[in-house]
Structures are given as structure tokens and as C-alpha cells.
Amino acid sequence: MITAGIDIGSVATKAVILSGHFILATEVMPSGSQPKLTAERALAKSLQTAKMERNQLEYLVSTGYGRRVVDFGDKNITEISACAQGIRFLKAPMGQIMTVIDLGGQDIKVISLDERGEVRDFVMNDKCAAGTGRFMEVIARALELRLEELGTYSKLSKKRIDINATCTVFAESEVVSLLAQDVGKEDIIAGIHRSIAERIATMGKKIGLKEVVAFTGGGAKNKGFCQILEEELGLTLHIPKIPQFVNALGAAVAAKAKK
Amino acid sequence: MKTDFEKRYQRAPLHRPAEKVSARVRAASEDLAARLHKQPDRLVSLPYYEELFTTEKRKKELQILNRKVVGTYCYFAPEELIYASGDVPIRLCSGHSDTITTAEELLPRDICPLVKSSFGFPILGDGWIDACDVIALPTSCDAKTKLGEYLADYLPVWMINLPKIKNYDGLKEYWLKEIKLFLHKLEELNGKKVKAPELKNALQLLKRRAELYRAMYELRLAHPLLLSHQDLLMVVQSSFYDDLPRWINQTELLYNEMKKASATGKYAAKGKRLMITGAPIIWPNFKILNIITELGSTVVADDMCAGHQRLWDYAEPDEWTLEGMLEAVAARYIFPSVCPCFTTSYDRIDKILHLAREAKVDGVIYHDLRLCQIFDMEKDLVVKVLKENQIPVITLHTDYGQEDVEQLRTRIEAFLEMIL
Ligand code: SF4
Ligand code: SF4
């Protein structure tokens, strides 16, 4: 049975084509201002990679903020349940995953799972974007770096800098003043990473960080950040090979139920 | 009016009439009314209440009748005494987001939207406050306490010194005196004393209101969609403005229609049964309720001071002396209240558990209004106890703006998926 999942996030749109237990294709592109069109394009491209026709797809589920704009899908689910189903499909060598931390473009979620892998509870940041992918973008821009470079720089940090601001706008001005004091970019980035990690840790403690803890979403691609988050939480995180696609995958898994 | 002592430091009232803002305020009410209008199988008695939000008829009537209007805030301004004096209470707590920017010209940005929204109206010279002669403002939370200082630029403000600790001794020693002082101020305003039979009449009227509401509420528990929660809050909140005897008559008609309609069996709850607790949800800020409806679930209960709590309680009119009745009134505002401005949240937790069980809810939504510290600080224990009682709960931290509707939808939808 061939199914597809599309995750229309605030920053990126992801598509996954699934055939039973096999992932046939993944595709990611910026969501842009026309999420519906982007979703169609992401689906078309992933079908191309999978060498499939649209009519071979038996069921399509959308998720993410733009889930409701997809009118060519069969169903939509929230990214919370998509994330849970995606991680359940991927599994971890360290044992059963009981908690998922998801760092997306616009929000941070900590999802607590039960023994069956179903959502037991979850917390999300409120509408403030501090600590999310968008926030990292703003910081990268202030430092004149590309988003992908943040992790590499962060690992080079030698000196601990504490960033106090928890608001995107204030953090940006704090970064600017640190630069004016000639503080190294790598130390600033590590400081920013630590402040986000602390925030996630607080959210995690609220619902309990039962191990194994998985880390997913675009944020998990940043290796420097993963390291700091592990230090902050005092545990080893399971980071799936395709952290960014877990929600889209979860949608494709949900599609297998065809209802 | 201000005493000479108070007049030493003055600020001229800020006036910023803005037709654009006023038009947006009207549009917000009209949009919500139109939306409620479209609900399937809606009862025909309901449009009556919409008019109190979408037209100025009642305001005009108040001007023509030439009765004294006491603008009130919160749960605690004693309606019994206002009615007994022959005056009209109008509750000024507002849910409009469009007046917030207006208020921010004077008020700090970091206070709760309810207070900012309400304060936008005197600056605009619009809304119900226009019809008021005085304002009765309880010192409930910090924001309300300080709001009095700003409102005093526009109208005489009677602060009501509300105790923060609930206890019987304090009630007699102190809060009863405060209630008497309030009565005295009313008597001064009207130039006549309130007599025992007048107060008794007022108590009886408010008891009728409570009994009617209770009957309606109980009927609705069995057939929740007789009134969507939006409609229920509309009915409750229209009583903030309407002429009380007329409201009671109308609501009797509504109740009779509900009874008839319940026989059709069409009005069972859809989807999950939910309860809302937390900061007041006031017309037209019904965004959370609208999302829940769109997601196919039903709110069946709430414990809010602008909802269930407002009409449920009353002071028993079985006392004969003025003193006895005043005591009943004093007690009625302290003990049944679950407002978090009191020091402990235990009563509130009991009440939430009771309401949640009675309404057989599948989950509770905690409405945490941004910058309202007291609800935020009570949240932790409330959430903990609910979870211990196997009642799923989700916190929504939001304000009056519309920009987070999609985020809220995701949270609520995920919550509904979770409590499958
Ligand atoms: S919750 Fe309490 S303080 Fe807030 S508006 Fe209601 S009665 Fe007033
Ligand atoms: S109790 Fe909260 S919501 Fe009500 S006025 Fe005070 S700060 Fe605002």
C-alpha cells in the first residue's frame, strides 16, 4: 500500500512517500507564501523520486500549520499526533521512545508518550517565537551566518556567555551588543543555544522527560545544538536520521489506516 | 466626585474619539452575531440577546429613563444594593481587542487585555461607560485596583475594598462594613435611604434570575447543544446590560423553548464534552469557543466570572431585617466566588472538579489570559489535581488578538486527538 504524508510547516514543507515499511522518497522545500502550491509541488517531486504516479497513491494525510490548505488530501491530523506516529515507526536502538522533543520553525513541543506510543500529554510554547527555528534564523542573520553554520560555530566555543533575553527581538539586540563588545561569534551562538536548551528543559520538566527521549524537527539537524541540549538535559538524545521528516512520515503512517 | 485631598494631583482625562476604532468595535460584535446566527437548529428566542451587543437601543433607553447607572467590574460589585436603590448596574469588563491600542496610549503595555480593552472605551468616548454616572470597582486583582486611578479622570470611582482572604470573622468585621459603606454611597447618590422591603425585592429578583439560570443550566447538561456555549455566554453576558425584569421574562421564554426543543432529541453534545476554566471569556472574544465548535466538539461547562459563576449564586431573601439581608449579601460575594484574587485556590479546585464531574467532561481547557498573573499562578495546582483525577487538561496561553488562532487550533485539535 502506497501512502503519502505532507507536513506544511511555517518555514518548510516536507513530503514523504511510504510503501508499507519502506520510505520511498522524501522532499523538502521552503513553505513560502503559497503553502498550498508548495505542498502540491513537494508531493509531485517526491512522487517523481519514488517513480510513481499520483493515482498510485492510496491515501494522503496532511499535517503541520498548513494542514488545512491541502484540499487534495484525504485527511489532516495535527503535528502532535503525526510526530508520535512518525517516531513510533522509526523506533530507536536504545529502547522505547517515551518522550519527543520537536523543534520546528515556529514552535517547540515536548510530547510525552505512553507504552503504546500514543500521546499521553504535550506542552508547546505560546505564540512567542523565542527558541524556535525562526528565532535561530534571526540570530544567524544578526551574525551574518547561514543557518546551517550555527552548529559548527557553536562547537568551537571556549568561553561561556549567558544570554538572558528570552524574546526574539531582545535576543537580537543582545547579540548586537555582544558583538559590539567584541565577543566571539562562536561563544554567542553557544550562549544562544544554551538559552534555548534551558527553555526546552523547563518545558520538558513540566511533563516529565521519561527516557528514551527523541529529538526531532529542523532544529535536530544542528549538531552543535544537540550537544548542548544533551548537556542541559543530562541525557543522551535519540536523533533519527531524518529528524526533519518525522511529522510528514507520521502523516504517511497515519494514512495507512485509511480513515 | 473627588475630594479636595484627591484633587491635589490631577490628570486631564484623555479623549481620543476615533470613528475607525468604534467602527471596528461594532463590526466585531456584528460579525460574531452573524456567526452565531448561522448555527444549525438555533433556537428562535436567541436573537433578542444579540441586540444588546449589536445595537445602542438599550443605551438610548437608559438615557431616556433617566436612571442612575452604576458601571461595575468583576463579580463583586453588589448588584442587590444597586437594584434596591432603584439604579442600574452595567458591567464594564470588556472582551473587545480593538480598543486595546487606544488604551495603551495611557496604560502600560504589560497589563492584562481585559483591563486595557475596558479602558479604551472612556478614551474613545464610546461603549457602555458613556451611560454611567459612577463606577464601582472592587480591588480584586492588581490591574483592577490600579485601573480605578485612571477611571477617576473620567467619572467618580467608588473603590470597593475586597478582602484577599476568605474567612468568617473578617467577613463580619470588615467586608460587611464595606458593603454598608457602598450602600451609603448609593443612598447619597440618590438622595434617599434604601428600606428593607426594597432590598428584599431586589434579593427576590436576583434569586429568580439564579433559579431560572439553574433550571436552564440543568436542562442544557442533558442537551448541551440547545445552547452552544457561545450562546450561553451571550445570554449570561447580556444580563450585564439588559433591564433585569425584561431579561428574566425573555429568558423564561427561552427556557420554555429549550424545554420543547429538548423533546426532539436533536441537541445532544457533538464530539468531546469539554469544560472551560480560567480567565473570563467575554463577548466578542469567543475565539476559543469558535475553534472548538469548528473542530466538532462541545463545551458543556465553565466556571468563569463572566459565565456560569455570574448567575448561579444568589443571596437567600429569607431575612427580614436590613442588617440580616446585608449580611447575606456580604457572604454571597465572598464564599461562592472562585476568583483567583483570593489567596487560596482550594475552593476553585473543588468547584472545577464538581462541575467537571457533573457535566461528565472528557477534558478541561484552562484559559490563561496573557499578563493575568493570578490565573497563571493558580494553574499549576489546578492542572495537577485535575490530572490526578484522570481529567485531561490543556492550558491555552493567549490574549484578545486573532493572530494565534491557528496555533490555538493546533493545540486544541491535538488535545482532542489525545483524549480520544
Ligand atoms: S476573574 Fe476575578 S478579578 Fe478577574 S474579572 Fe473575574 S471577578 Fe474580576
Ligand atoms: S483577574 Fe486577570 S483577567 Fe481579570 S482583570 Fe485581573 S489581570 Fe485581568
Instruction: Return the minimum-mean-pLDDT range out of A90-94, B133-137, B286-290.
Output: A90-94
Q: In what order do the strands lie in the sheet with A237-238?
A: A119-124, A108-113, A99-103, A213-216, A237-238
Mean pLDDT throughout A214-227? 92
Chain A contacts in chain B segment 348-407 (CB below 8 A): 370, 392, 397-398, 403-404, 406-407
Q: Give the pLDDT confidence score for residue A153 in this predicted structure.
A: 87
pLDDT band at residue B235 under the 50/70/90 scheme: very high
H or E stretch at B37? helix B19-37
Percent of chain B with pLDDT over 90: 93
Delineate the domains of chain A, giving CATH numbers in brackets. 1-93+244-259 (3.30.420.40), 94-237 (3.30.420.40)
Ligand nearest to the CA of residue B91, numbered in listed order: 1
Q: Give the pLDDT confidence score for residue A138 in this predicted structure.
A: 84
Does B12 fall in a domain? no
Task: Tell me if chain A has a CB within 8 Å of the CB of B343.
Answer: no
- Say yes or no to pLDDT of A166 above 70: no
CB contact under 8 A, B417 and A80: yes
Q: Give the pLDDT confidence score for residue A165 in this predicted structure.
A: 64
pLDDT band at residue A250 under the 50/70/90 scheme: very high
Return the closest-CA partner of residue A220 out of A193, A190, A198.
A193
Task: Tell me if chain B has a CB within 8 Å of the CB of A80.
Answer: yes
The shortest CB-CB distance from A78 to any of B398, B403, B410 is to B410
Residues B180 and B184: their CA atoms lie apart, in Å, by 6
Mean pLDDT throughout A6-19? 94
**Closest ligand 2 atom to Cα of B111:** 7
Q: Give the pLDDT confidence score for residue A159 in this predicted structure.
A: 87
Contacts of A195 (CB under 8 A, 6+ apart): A131, A162, A163, A164, A165, A166, A171
**Ligand 1 geometric centre to CA of B337 (Å):** 10
Tell me the CA end-to-end span of chain A in Å, nearest whole number: 14
pLDDT band at residue A177 under the 50/70/90 scheme: confident
Task: Tell me if chain B has a CB within 8 Å of the CB of A162.
Answer: no
Does B84 fall in a domain? yes
**Ligand 2 geometric centre to CA of A156 (Å):** 47
Q: Grid coordinates 510513481 are at which residue?
A: A52
CB contact under 8 A, B410 and A121: no
Q: Give the pLDDT confidence score for residue B1 in this predicted structure.
A: 66
Q: What is the pLDDT of residues A76-96, one digit of tens each?
A: 999 999 999 999 999 888 889
Does B334 fall in a domain? yes
Nearest CA in chain A to B397: A126
Return the closest-CA partner of residue B267 out of B224, B232, B204, B308.
B224
Percent of chain A with pLDDT over 70: 97
Range of the domain at B404: 19-418
Helices (H), chain A: 35-49, 79-90, 133-142, 149-155, 168-180, 185-207, 223-233, 246-255
Our answer on whether the CB atom of B341 is closer than 6 Å to any ligand 1 atom is yes
Does B13 fall in a domain? no
Does B192 fall in a domain? yes
Give B98's DSSP letter: T
Does B316 fall in a domain? yes
Return the closest-CA partner of residue B93 out of B113, B106, B74, B108.
B74
CB contact under 8 A, A78 and B417: yes
- Say yes or no to pLDDT of A127 above 80: no
Does B2 fall in a domain? no
Question: What is the distance of C-alpha B232 from the center of its chain?
Answer: 12
Residue B25 CB coordination number (10 Å) = 24
Q: What is the mean pLDDT of chain A?
A: 90
Q: What is the pLDDT of residues B88-125, one digit of tens each?
A: 999 999 999 999 999 999 999 999 999 999 999 999 99
Mean pLDDT throughout B276-299? 97
Cell numbers given for A56: 498510485
Instruction: Return the minimum-mean-pLDDT range out of A25-34, A169-178, B186-195.
Output: A169-178
Contacts of A180 (CB under 8 A, 6+ apart): none
Closest approach of chain A CAs to the CA of B108, in angstroms? 18
Percent of chain B with pLDDT over 70: 100
Q: What is the pLDDT of residues A186-213, one digit of tens each?
A: 898 888 888 889 889 989 998 999 999 9
Instruction: Write down the ipTM of this complex.
Output: 0.85
Percent of chain A with pLDDT over 90: 58
Mean pLDDT throughout B335-348? 93
- Say yes or no to pLDDT of B276 above 90: yes
List, in sequence order, every residue forming a beta bridge with B364; answer none if it has no partner: B275, B393
Residues B314 and B84: their CA atoms lie apart, in Å, by 15
CB pairs under 8 A between A and B: 41
**Would you say B221 and B359 are in contact if contact means Cβ atoms under 8 Å apart?**
yes
Does B71 fall in a domain? yes
Q: Give the pLDDT confidence score for residue A47 in this predicted structure.
A: 95
Q: How many domains does chain B have?
A: 1
